[in-house]
Amino acid sequence: GNPFLGYSFWAGIGLPDSKLSHWFFQFVFAATAATILSGAVAERCNFVAYIVYSAVISGVVYPIVSHWAWTDDGWLNTFGYKDFAGCGVVHALAGVCAFVGA
């Protein structure tokens, strides 16, 4: 990959069995970001729009942002960024997306 976007195992393609637990761990973080978002847009959009918005956040935006901070070659990590328990990747991402959605 590069500092902006990782290339390996996109959408789980070619993911070895030994990495499935890490994939599931990241999946739960992506679902948490979508859940935080739901609190902000619950009464502001219809159900179909929320499903599409959650799919985009979980499937496109979250993998890119988590690559920035949590991989060795991510651009935030190269500047020494340390994210404790997902406060930047999960909560700040969900907050910004909730602000955009509201």
Token pair of 25, please? 């761990």
Neighbours of 34 (CB within 10 A): 21
pLDDT tens across the length of the chain (102 residues): 666 767 777 777 788 888 888 888 888 998 998 898 888 888 888 889 889 988 999 888 988 888 888 888 889 988 999 888 788 889 988 899 888 887
Structural domain boundaries in the chain: 21-101
The pLDDT value recorded for residue 48 is 92
Q: Name which of 80, 82, 88, 71 is nearest 1 in CA terms.
A: 71
What is the b/e burial string over 74-98, where b = at least 16 CB atoms within 10 angstroms of the residue's CB? bebbeeeeebeebebbbeebbeebb
